[in-house]
Structure 1
């Protein structure tokens, strides 16, 4: 049965990010908008800002939850606190909002890696984690991947504001981005899959297969994103800062190249 705290968190999270996005896209935005994104492509900038804020919230709450409830690491299946379910609800609410926003403005083909990631986590999060009050520890563990998301989306914002790739700020962010990608994102997913191998015997085989499949797909998507970052910032000879050519979070490269 659903906990009211988890369900309310989904609704509040969805409505909050929707309102925040509307403010960013409106004339009264309190954050300066890059000149290039002041027109029809403003939705790209607002989406990245929203993702950046979400990453900070989830990374902070996830670390705090592990600090106050270390039992989540010892018993990832049955340990369940109100804060853990609220974090899960916030996470799912944002995923629903971001999926709607991406589909509305960019379509499925352009953003399929992110959409597949969101749909899988939303279905599993609502269908099992919140309903059965189980596996919440894995959601909290997955929050460590959001530490990398702070610098991954921070990279995008730097490019949007015209920061040269040769600048010290971009290089420092990029170094932290790669390090946190390997440790916080790929590392946490690797640990998560190893733990799932041991813990899935305690639940039904159907959910076990589903959760393991989701983990493998998410790990694969993370590898694709890492390759795009490395290709864009280390393997490419281009030195321009056109964000459309460096958008590692979507599949816009081919489209933008054709339009040029």
Structure 2
């Protein structure tokens, strides 16, 4: 179990690094052009989110015993799915270190380090695989966030596609991010006597951090994409200038420059 999980992790790392290099041939970027690198990085992240998020949802639907017994109950392919995700986070961390300074990337690197630490426990021990698969449901919401970010980089805000991506990000926030985080937190509290103390502390810190970040993320998208973009009634007042619109609360919003930059 341990050797096969490590092998899949290494293959996954190589595959996602290969995607980065392949996209670099299609979208080369110079030192002053960071958008192309962001495009490549987010496209690879989108592939990972769609693959692991859909795999986790389908797997939990076909094998609900992974929820009933998240420590021991899992089919063999579930470990492969977790290992693929670990390989991606290692590849993405490498890509960030290669293309960004430590000051620019330290927050996401800390996030990746925590995720790899938690998921690697399942790979090395062969336990907690079901618990790890539940955590991969968050990638379904992340896929919507990646699409939204790609539209921002394409200067497609505002547009129908961007509005749909924003609403999809908000609609999937509760069922595929907050609900799994809540279930994992409750399970960890109830079953703390069955889990080593070090894992309880590591998992608790990770769940709390991601939960707070998720709520802040949802609020920021709601304010930026929904509340500030609502149509204003036609009343007498200051005239709009090109690229700027005055919202109902009187706050000018620049529509040429996206206000929120998110990579989850």
TM-score category of the 2 structures, normalised to the smaller one: 0.7 to 0.9
What is the CA distance between 1:5 and its match in structure 2? 2.4
C-alpha root-mean-square deviation of aligned residues, in Å? 2.5
> Structure 2: any 5+ residue segments left out of the alignment?
229-251
Partner in structure 2 of residue 255 of structure 1: none
* Structure with greater Cα Rg: 2
From 194, 202, 209, the counterpart of 1:217: 209
1:97-112 matches, within 5 Å, as 97-112=91-106
Residue among 178, 191, 201 paired with 2:170: 178
Q: How many residues align?
A: 241
CA distance in 1, matches of 2:44, 2:173: 20
Picking from 59, 68, 71, the partner of 1:74 is: 68
Question: What is the Cα deviation at residue 40 of structure 1?
Answer: 5.0
Residue of structure 1 equivalent to 2:222: 230
Q: Which residue of 1 aligns with 2:260?
A: 246
Structure 1 unaligned blocks of 5 or more: 251-260
Q: State which of 169, 176, 192 in structure 2 corresponds to 1:200.
A: 192
CA contact (8 A) 1:80 1:133 kept: no
Does residue 41 of structure 2 align to residue 50 of structure 1?
no
Q: In the alignment, is the contact (CA less than 8 A) between 2:93 and 2:109 conserved in 1?
A: yes
Say which is worse superposed, 11-20 or 65-74, in terms of deviation. Answer: 65-74
Cα distance, 1:198–1:49 mapped onto 2, change above 3 Å: same
* 186-195 or 11-20, which deviates more: 186-195
Residue 151 (structure 2) aligned to one of 151, 154, 158: 158
Q: How far, CA to CA, are the matches of 1:174 and 1:160 in structure 2?
A: 14
How does 1:22-33 map onto structure 2 within 5 Å?
22-26=21-25, 29=26
Query: Could you say which residue in structure 2 is the equivalent of 1:5?
Result: 4
Alpha-carbon distance, 1:160 to partner: 1.7
Q: Tell me the TM-score normalized by structure 2.
A: 0.82
Residue 173 of structure 1 aligns to a residue in which SS? helix
Distance 1:34 1:3, change over 3 A: closer
Q: Is the 8 A contact 1:80 1:136 kept in 2?
A: yes
Cα shift at 1:150: 1.1
Q: Tell me the residue number matched to 1:88.
A: 82
* CA distance in 1 between partners of 2:2 and 2:62 (Å): 21
CA displacement at 1:177 relative to structure 2: 0.7
State how far apart, in whole Å, the 2-side matches of 1:227 and 1:112 are. 23
In structure 1, how many angstroms separate the alpha carbons of the residues matched to 2:152 and 2:28? 10
Stretch deviating more after TM superposition (179-188 or 83-92): 179-188
Q: CA deviation at 1:116?
A: 1.9
Structure 1 runs (4+) deviating above 3 angstroms are 37-41, 234-237
Task: Check 1:228–1:112 CA distance in 2 against 1; reply closer, same or farther (3 A cut).
Answer: farther
More helix by share: 1
